[in-house]
Amino acid sequence: MNGATGIARRRDLGRWGIWALLFLGGLLMVLPLWLAFVTSLKQGAEVFTLSMWPAQPTLANYAKILGDGRFPLWFLNSVLVALATTASVLFFDSLVGYTLAKYRFRGRGLVFVLILSTMMVPTEMLVIPWYVMARSFGWIDTYWGIMFPGLMTGFGTFLMRQFFNSVPDELLDAARVDGLSEFRIWWTIAMPLVRPALAALAIFTFLSNWSAFLWPLIVTNDRTLYTLPVGLAFFSGENSTEWPLVMAGAAVATVPTLLLFLFFQRQIIRGIALTGLKG
């Protein structure tokens, strides 16, 4: 009994140690965000004091940010780009993933390998070809120029193919016997069965395009077309000494991503977990 009790105690101690480490790691991750939010509520010389809460909190910085006509415009640009690219990725990546998973044709493996190889090329190496293409087609300073590199992704195709592999072929064959078209089979039968993957892909794509900085910075010269990360960098350059204003802008830019995680964290976790189970 004593031995069993000792083992149970050691397990409890180990469990508490793991929880303590997780709590410490979470605290270290949240602390910078909290300090940025606190700084956005400060004014005057108080910004240079390290405190967990300002002595006289104010929303004047947020009012000034939102009152600047450029900032709401940058926000809407980011929303437009993120939503459009997310919709495109969900449609095209799922369609290509379904084709690679459920159709047998010569060269299918090679096509899949070529798609996977695009994930191994750093974005920085693709910027010059993208820019040459955008300039050739007249896409500089256009929404299309900002969006076209992210309209399809190798990761999304890979993810959807893995999930579509788990869809029983018998269901699809039964639908063909009933006379359904291939597009309708994909849309009405296969797609509802891979909703966890679609939810995870949508969230990851939205977050990636929302926070994209390098390519929108390169392809846009018109400040009215800036996305929020680019506009915020430009704004911080204009107000390099006004840290509360900069932190207020950063806080506003972070709100959509936080809301997305709070409302869809179950789908994110489920999608990540199921991704590792699909072979």
Residues 6+ apart with CB under 8 A from 225: 77, 141, 142, 143, 146
Domain ranges of the chain: 2-48, 61-275
Task: Please give the structure tokens belonging to residue 78.
Answer: 């980011």
Angle between helices 154-164 and 70-102 in degrees, nearest 10: 40
163 in Cβ contact with 197 (< 8 Å): yes
The DSSP result for 122-163, as a single string, is: -HHHHHHHHHHHHHHTT-TTSHHHHHGGGSS-HHHHHHHHHH
CA distance 246 to 62: 10
pTM of the model: 0.83
pLDDT, one tens digit per residue, over 76-88 is: 999 999 999 999 9
Each residue's pLDDT tens digit, 214-225:
999 999 999 899
Closest CA to 249 of 82, 27, 68: 68
Return d(Cα 148, Cα 139) in angstroms, integer.
9
CB within 8 Å of 220: residues ≥ 6 apart:
140, 141, 145, 146, 226, 227, 230
If one compares 6 and 11, the residue with the highest pLDDT of the two is 11
pLDDT at 33 over 50: yes
Using an 8 Å Cβ cutoff, are 191 and 198 in contact? yes
pLDDT of 253: 87
90-122 pLDDT, tens digit per residue, is: 999 999 999 999 988 888 889 999 998 988 888
Q: Which residues contact 236 (CB under 8 A, 6 or more apart)?
A: 246, 249
Residue-level pLDDT at 275: 55
Contacts of 88 (CB under 8 A, 6+ apart): 147, 150, 151, 152
Cβ-proximal residues to 249 (8 Å cutoff; 6+ apart), any chain: 65, 71, 232, 235, 236
Residue bearing the bigger pLDDT, 190 or 274:
190
pLDDT value for 134: 94
pLDDT digits (tens, 9 = 90+) for 180-227: 898 999 999 999 988 888 988 898 899 899 999 999 999 999 989 999
The CATH topology of domain 61-275 is MetI-like fold (1.10.3720)
Give 77's contacts (C-beta < 8 A, 6+ positions apart): 143, 225, 226, 227, 228, 231
Q: What was the pLDDT predicted at 271?
A: 62
